[in-house]
A and B are shown apart, each in its own frame.
Chain A
Amino acid sequence: MPMIFYLILSGILFTLGLLGVILRRNAIILFMSLELMFNAANILFVAFAAYYQVLSGQLFVFFVMVVAAAEVAVGLALIVTIFRSRNSINVDELSSLKG
């Protein structure tokens, strides 16, 4: 398959993720959109590691997964704590700090 297909797939995933982060108001879906964006980068890494015949790109993917998992773990902990105090995970309601 030509490389451009991978680039397009990665671009579509990334755009979907970015739109999700900007448009969706549910905290959990917001995190899933972030994961999509990380995976868009992962696809590029794997595709071009195969293209250049180097292993490093595939290795990076595992690290990206670990980091993404760490970010989401912190995020979920925050969401749980926020849910306990507000009974809602709608991010529009988090608006007490202004100015």
Chain B
Amino acid sequence: MNANTAFTLVIGLPLLGTPIIYLLGRLWARQNGSSNAANPARWLALLILVATGVFTYFAGVGATADYAGISLNFGGLTLTMDGLGLFLAVTVLALGILVTLFSVPYMQAEVGEEKFYALLTAMIGAIIGLGCATDLFNLWLWFEAMAVASYFLVAFYRDQKASLEAGWKYLVQSATGSTLVMLGIALAFAATGSLRFDELRLAAASADPLLLAAGALFIIGFGVKTALVPLHTWLPDAHSQAPSGISAMLSGIVIEAGLVAMLRSLGILYATSQVWGYLLLGFGALNLLVGNLMALRQTQVKRLLAYSSLSHVGYMLIGFGMAFAFAMPNGAIGGFFHLFNHALMKGLAFLAAGALLYALYIAKGHHGPLVLDDLNGASKRYPLTAFCFSLAVLALGGLPPLAGFMSKWQIFVSGFETGSTVAIILVIFAALNSVLSLGYYAPLVNRLYRGQPSQTVQEGGKISPWMAAPMVILALAIVLFGVWPSLLTNLTSRAALGLFMLMGG
């Protein structure tokens, strides 16, 4: 298949599919009422995502043939699938398809199921587009499309006060962040008169104060979505209140899409200042510490996992910071590797927590939070889910044969390769934080396997095979990429190459 045709379909299918999914689902729901029977919207969404995945393969074959990737022109607008765009598309589609599968039983009894699938597809399409944008304004538009779709998904349980509150906090903070990004883009436009990545990079060689201000605004603005530490307060609320599949998407890919947008925009401004790399390293250290300390004192499982996302963004930031501050290719490759692994590990952790939450509470029509005590002895009633959950949290903690260890290792190696004292101290700090994180991951496993099942667990419902299948696939992938990390090298090193080409290196 022609790579350019495939690329057009990769961009177009999810966006064109969104209204069709909604209309089909809505018409069907009108005719059949809100019964429990299967709404076809979910199958259409799944079909569209799988088809997009297939086309991504064909587009990827074309995009990896040449270092510049493949481009599409719509009038004056260019979309390019380079290594970074391909990497983001693969990550989001892999997680997105599994989340759609998982959501089949999870969202079954909910009102407005068709909206859920339509918005999920729209969000995935927007993230794919975000990776392929070639000018700052287009990047911002895709970013906003992703954000608007995710507001609805976070506040999906509209009869729950807590979820409305979480959606509101998310919306206000995220919208404020995007106005800051918008101002940054306007300043970059004011300084250079162009927003195309290539033209902007040539113009950005001097330390123009307008461009410095723009870079700072990009860090703060995209930092809200990426959950850099003082700007993270929306994250635990949104992640814990959203439907579990959406928690997995938010934590696994949406905050990372913010990170990719930040890296793209800072990459162009690379020549203006040395400070960006050090800022990323600083925020990385802060994210690690605050994320871990806050996770230690949580009593709700999904909030705990949300805070652990903060610390994992910290590892990625340290990797990318090494790339920006010391021009370490391993830092960027490790950062992207960790991004991918984090999508798998945190996706699995949220899906497994979601499966328990569903079986224990939601299936009984009760929207309570899943607290740590509910995990006690859950392995006796739910052996498979408990095993997958343990595997996910141990991988997140960085135990050696699993995927999380490999990517953390690569990031730490890049720090040692710099030979700089600051970088080495930072790596040791990060490694100690990784040990600290076991302080909240290990007790989860302990509770699952050694506690006595509570009343709630013993009365819990069954977990559908639709939920179990994505969990098993993710668990296998975590083990596979842990023992055979070189499978991903092609993808991650091309993503890093895309970033370095943007920086002009």
Residues of chain A whose beta carbon lies under 8 Å from any beta carbon of chain B? 3, 7, 10, 14, 17-18, 21, 27, 30, 34, 37-38, 40-42, 44-45, 47-48, 51-52, 54, 56-57, 60, 63-64, 67, 70-71, 74-75, 78-79, 81-82, 85-86, 91, 94-97, 99
**B417 shortest CB reach to chain A, Å:** 39
Instruction: Indicate if the CB atoms of B179 and A81 lie closer than 8 Å.
Output: no
Instruction: Indicate if the CB atoms of A91 and B168 lie closer than 8 Å.
Output: yes
Question: Nearest residue in A to B141 (C-beta to C-beta)?
Answer: A63
Q: Please judge, given known A-B contacts A67-B144, A99-B303, whether A75 and B189 are in contact too, CB under 8 Å.
A: no
Contact of A44 among B76, B190, B298 (CB under 8 A): B190
Contact of A38 among B179, B237, B303 (CB under 8 A): B179
**A81 shortest CB reach to chain B, Å:** 5
**A97 shortest CB reach to chain B, Å:** 4
* CB neighbours of A40 from chain B (8 A): 179, 183
In the A-B complex, the 10 residue pairs with the smallest Cβ-Cβ separation, listed nearest first, are A44-B186, A52-B193, A37-B179, A41-B182, A41-B186, A97-B237, A48-B190, A94-B165, A67-B144, A41-B183
**B487 shortest CB reach to chain A, Å:** 39
Tell me which residues from 168 to 215 in chain B have a Cβ below 8 Å from any Cβ of chain A.
Answer: 168-169, 171-172, 175-176, 178-180, 182-183, 185-187, 189-190, 193-195
* CB neighbours of B186 from chain A (8 A): 10, 41-42, 44-45, 48
Q: How far is the CA of A82 from the CA of B168 in the complex (A)?
A: 9
Instruction: Indicate if the CB atoms of A96 and B165 lie closer than 8 Å.
Output: yes
Instruction: Indicate if the CB atoms of A75 and B190 lie closer than 8 Å.
Output: no
Contact of A74 among B151, B193, B240 (CB under 8 A): B151
Chain B interface, >50% SS class? helix
Q: How far is the CA of A47 from the CA of B180 in the complex (A)?
A: 18
Q: How far is the CA of A46 from the CA of B314 in the complex (A)?
A: 38
* CB neighbours of A14 from chain B (8 A): 179, 183
Q: How far is the CA of A44 from the CA of B182 in the complex (A)?
A: 10
**Other 18 A-B pairs with CB < 8 A, given A41-B179, A75-B175:** A17-B179, A34-B175, A37-B180, A40-B179, A41-B182, A51-B193, A57-B189, A60-B137, A71-B147, A74-B148, A74-B152, A74-B171, A78-B168, A79-B168, A81-B155, A96-B161, A97-B165, A97-B240
The size of the chain B interface, using a CB distance under 8 A, is: 44
Q: How far is the CA of A75 from the CA of B155 in the complex (A)?
A: 11
Q: How far is the CA of A23 from the CA of B144 in the complex (A)?
A: 25
* CB neighbours of B147 from chain A (8 A): 71
Q: Please judge, given known A-B contacts A71-B171, A71-B175, A74-B152, whether A85 and B161 are in contact too, CB under 8 Å.
A: yes
> Does B224 have its Cβ within 8 Å of any Cβ on chain A?
no
> Does B492 have its Cβ within 8 Å of any Cβ on chain A?
no
**A87 shortest CB reach to chain B, Å:** 12
Contact of A71 among B144, B166, B169, B240 (CB under 8 A): B144
**B116 shortest CB reach to chain A, Å:** 15
**A28 shortest CB reach to chain B, Å:** 12
Instruction: Indicate if the CB atoms of B189 and A97 lie closer than 8 Å.
Output: no
> Does B164 have its Cβ within 8 Å of any Cβ on chain A?
yes
Question: Nearest residue in B to A72 (C-beta to C-beta)?
Answer: B175
Question: Nearest residue in A to B297 (C-beta to C-beta)?
Answer: A99
Contact of A34 among B148, B176, B195 (CB under 8 A): B176
Q: How far is the CA of A7 from the CA of B168 in the complex (A)?
A: 31
Q: Please judge, given known A-B contacts A14-B183, A67-B141, A78-B155, whether A97 and B175 are in contact too, CB under 8 Å.
A: no
Instruction: Indicate if the CB atoms of A63 and B179 lie closer than 8 Å.
Output: no
* CB neighbours of A60 from chain B (8 A): 137, 189
Instruction: Indicate if the CB atoms of B189 and A48 lie closer than 8 Å.
Output: yes
Question: Nearest residue in A to B155 (C-beta to C-beta)?
Answer: A78
Question: Nearest residue in B to A67 (C-beta to C-beta)?
Answer: B144
Instruction: Indicate if the CB atoms of A81 and B298 lie closer than 8 Å.
Output: no
Contact of B171 among A18, A37, A48, A78 (CB under 8 A): A78
Instruction: Indicate if the CB atoms of B176 and A37 lie closer than 8 Å.
Output: yes
Q: How far is the CA of A21 from the CA of B171 in the complex (A)?
A: 12
> Does B162 have its Cβ within 8 Å of any Cβ on chain A?
yes
> Does B158 have its Cβ within 8 Å of any Cβ on chain A?
yes
Q: How far is the CA of A79 from the CA of B175 in the complex (A)?
A: 15
* CB neighbours of B151 from chain A (8 A): 74, 78
Instruction: Indicate if the CB atoms of B176 and A97 lie closer than 8 Å.
Output: no
- Could you pull out 14 A-B pairs where Cβ atoms are within 8 angstroms? A3-B190, A14-B179, A14-B183, A17-B179, A38-B179, A41-B185, A67-B141, A70-B148, A75-B171, A78-B168, A85-B159, A85-B164, A96-B161, A97-B162
